[in-house]
Amino acid sequence: MINNLDSEEIQQLLQSARVGRLGCVVNGDPYVVPINYEFRDGAIYGHSLPGLKISALRDNPRACVQVDKIESDLRWQSALAFGNFEELKDEAQRQEALTRLLAKYPLLTPVEWSMVQDADNQDVIVFRINIDRMTGVAWS
């Protein structure tokens, strides 16, 4: 049976999943990449090196993040959060978001660690998706 997840269940899934799939539109094509993220205060925080995805999101900020918990082909949950991409440019906000991401994912690369130590390093993009809609389903 498929059932809709309620808002509480969707938020729990966003809290517990470790990898999300970020969807956006690049040159008219749908585009999906795995991301590490932190879900906090109605937003999904992430970071990225500059590239195709970031350029596309600057042009068209609509994005979604899909997360799931797949226990078997017959038992899974999937949630989808939609929102607008916002680049964090305020240095205090960037530092906080990045520090929290690194606390959740301590194995992330030296690039990010050096970024935390050097507030002037602008290479790493720190962003959030400000969620305006969420949906979720469970199959069990």
DSSP3 helix / strand / coil % (the chain, rounded to 5): 30, 45, 25
Using alpha carbons, select from 24, 38, 134 the residue that is nearest to residue 78. Answer: 134
Among 66, 96, 116, 124, binds a copy of itself (CB under 8 A): 66
Binding part of the chain for a copy of itself, among 38-46, 74-82, 91-99, 113-121 by CB under 8 A, reads 74-82
CB 104 to a copy of itself: min, Å: 10
Does 110 engage in binding with a copy of itself (CB under 8 A)? no
- Amino acid letter at 21? R
Distance CA 75, CA 59 (A): 38
Does 29 engage in binding with a copy of itself (CB under 8 A)? yes
Binding part of the chain for a copy of itself, among 5-13, 21-29, 90-98, 116-124 by CB under 8 A, reads 21-29
